[in-house]
């Protein structure tokens, strides 16, 4: 092995280095948010078929009790995030725009909110299929933001031969630090969940990838990894979007997922560290997912932090507890690179919501709104981690040549990381163009 290879930093090609603002919350321990008077539990807060309600208006439920069942294989159940009474099942505002059905739950403020509803399984004597069923029963989905039902990843395509589980602890989005805190404060759950998933996938190697701005997390995990467990932890370069699964696979294993392919095509299954910690916590106890950790940060709040939030909590309630300042101007759900601004503060916290960034006007309007013509500087090409040509794709999309951009320029390999828009000196809304182009192509295909 050459010296260059020996000391090569684990990373991928291209990407960007935005200022991360993580010091606002990375040193603050996890805090529990009180229960809001009413929770709004969206039936569709995961990829796949919406859950099917099991309750009716007026029915009392206890915290942790299933209130909706999975409606098919790519679907998960929902559990009551609090003890209370079902007020109704109605259409409500969502962060995505169109209204969607949700179970409205009035919380009993005097209740202890202890989780009594659990059924610890005998995990030692379970088959892979049993484990898959149990995992679906917990309602766990990808907590990094994708919200893809986790149990589905345990059944890769038949021709795939998996050899490695990758735990994604990069958390490359600016401001977000909830995964960082989980790695520090819930290390045992993370390792337990990793071991359970290694067993379920029948793989003997797990690599935990952590950006090198979180050295304390690398140290905390390394100190707890059991001997001969096949688990190792690796620092990777701090660079956006290191946490995209294709990028992390390349950084850790130098394997490239083929165009249009899944990580299983190169023998890998990737899970977010928050998802694995939830599995390590809930699966052995037979409990359902009723809360999640949310980073609340930005200059628009006076009490930023990592809050443990009951699912269904209104964003407005979370904002009040984090001390919204009068100057707060924009609320972004997720991080600033891939998240979305919300128009209504009535939308609820969902399983896939890892952060809420609140900005004052002077920070939210950093970029000029005016769009200038492309100057062919190629900065977007140099930034794109998927080696696409965003400039050309953007020009085609602007001319409504949606089929050409999809068929000849790999539009669907774009995962909307936002690097191209971030570096564009002409402020061209490239990602928005690509979102529209994808929607039109999907519509045409349907």
Q: Does 337 bind ligand SF4 (CB under 6 A)?
A: no
Binding mask 78-97 for ligand SF4 (x = CB under 6 A): --------------------
What's the rounded Cα separation, in Å, for the pair 188 and 168? Answer: 16
Strand bridging mode 305-310 / 291-297: antiparallel
Q: Does 311 bind ligand SF4 (CB under 6 A)?
A: no
**The one segment of 76-84, 252-260, 266-274, 411-419 that binds ligand SF4 by CB under 6 A:** 411-419
Q: How many CB atoms lie within 10 A of CB 308?
A: 14
Q: Does 391 bind ligand SF4 (CB under 6 A)?
A: yes
Q: Vertex 241, ends 354 and 267: CA angle to 5°?
A: 95
Q: Vertex 383, ends 26 and 240: CA angle to 5°?
A: 15
DSSP three-state, residue 423? helix
The encoded tokens of residue 404 equal 């050409």
Comparing CB distances to ligand SF4, the nearer of 276 and 420 is: 420
Comparing CB distances to ligand SF4, the nearer of 13 and 188 is: 13
Comparing CB distances to ligand SF4, the nearer of 75 and 391 is: 391
Asked whether 435 and 421 are in contact (CB, 8 A), the reply is no
**The one segment of 190-198, 357-365, 390-398, 436-444 that binds ligand SF4 by CB under 6 A:** 390-398
- Spatial strand order of the sheet with 38-42 comes to 38-42, 97-107, 84-94, 60-61
Out of 419, 433, 437, 438, the residue judged to bind ligand SF4 by CB under 6 A:
419
What's the rounded Cα separation, in Å, for the pair 177 and 298? Answer: 12
Out of 431, 433, 437, 438, the residue judged to bind ligand SF4 by CB under 6 A:
431
Shortest separation between residue 274's beta carbon and ligand SF4, angstroms: 23
- For ligand SF4 (CB under 6 A), the number of binding residues is 29
Q: Does 375 bind ligand SF4 (CB under 6 A)?
A: yes
Out of 314, 418, 437, 438, the residue judged to bind ligand SF4 by CB under 6 A:
418
Peptide bond into 263 cis (omega under 30): no
Q: Does 390 bind ligand SF4 (CB under 6 A)?
A: yes
Out of 95, 115, 414, 437, the residue judged to bind ligand SF4 by CB under 6 A:
414
> Rounded to whole angstroms, what are the CA distances from 366 to 331, 369, 416, 427, 428?
15, 9, 21, 11, 15
Beta bridge partner(s), residue 179? none
Interface contacts to ligand SF4, rule CB under 6 A: 374-380, 383-384, 386, 388, 390-391, 394, 414-420, 423-426, 428, 430-431, 434
């Amino acid at each position: 092995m050459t010296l260059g290879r020996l000391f090569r930093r684990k990373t991928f090609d291209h990407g960007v280095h935005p200022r991360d603002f993580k010091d606002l919350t990375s040193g603050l321990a996890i805090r529990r948010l009180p229960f809001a008077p009413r929770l709004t539990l969206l039936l569709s807060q995961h990829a796949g078929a919406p859950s099917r309600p099991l309750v009716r208006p007026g029915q009392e439920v206890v915290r942790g009790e299933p209130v909706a069942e999975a409606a098919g294989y790519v679907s998960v159940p929902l559990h009551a995030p609090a003890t209370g009474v079902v007020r109704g099942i109605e259409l409500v505002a969502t962060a995505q725009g169109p209204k969607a059905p949700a179970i409205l739950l009035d919380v009993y403020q005097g209740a202890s909110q202890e989780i009594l509803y659990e059924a610890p399984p005998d995990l030692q004597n379970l088959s892979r299929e049993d484990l898959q069923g149990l995992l679906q029963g917990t309602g766990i989905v990808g907590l990094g933001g994708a919200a893809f039902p986790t149990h589905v990843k345990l059944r890769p395509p038949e021709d795939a031969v998996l050899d490695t589980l990758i735990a994604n602890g990069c958390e490359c989005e600016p401001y977000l630090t909830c995964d960082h805190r989980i790695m520090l404060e819930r290390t045992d759950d993370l390792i337990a969940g990793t071991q359970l998933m290694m067993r379920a996938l029948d793989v003997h190697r797990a690599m935990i990838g952590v950006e090198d701005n979180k050295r304390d997390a690398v140290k905390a995990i390394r100190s707890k990894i059991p001997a001969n467990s096949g688990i190792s932890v690796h620092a990777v370069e701090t660079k956006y979007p290191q946490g995209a699964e294709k990028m992390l696979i390349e950084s850790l294993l130098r394997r490239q997922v083929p165009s249009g392919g899944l990580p299983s095509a190169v023998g890998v299954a990737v899970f977010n560290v928050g998802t694995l910690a939830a599995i390590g916590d809930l699966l052995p106890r037979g409990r359902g997912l009723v809360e999640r950790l949310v980073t609340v940060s930005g200059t628009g709040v006076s009490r930023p932090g990592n809050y443990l939030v009951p699912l269904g909590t209104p964003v407005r309630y979370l904002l009040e507890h984090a001390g919204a300042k009068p100057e707060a101007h924009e609320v972004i759900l997720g991080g600033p690179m891939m998240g979305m601004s919300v128009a209504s503060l009535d939308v609820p916290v969902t399983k896939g919501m890892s952060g809420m960034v609140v900005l004052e006007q002077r920070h939210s309007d950093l970029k000029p709104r005016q769009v200038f013509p492309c100057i062919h500087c190629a900065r977007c090409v140099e930034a794109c981690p998927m080696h696409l040509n965003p400039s050309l794709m953007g020009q085609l999309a602007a001319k409504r040549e949606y089929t050409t951009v999809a068929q000849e320029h790999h539009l669907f390999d774009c995962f909307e990381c936002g690097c191209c828009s971030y570096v564009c000196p002409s402020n061209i809304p490239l990602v928005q163009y690509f979102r529209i182009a994808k929607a039109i192509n999907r519509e045409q295909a349907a």
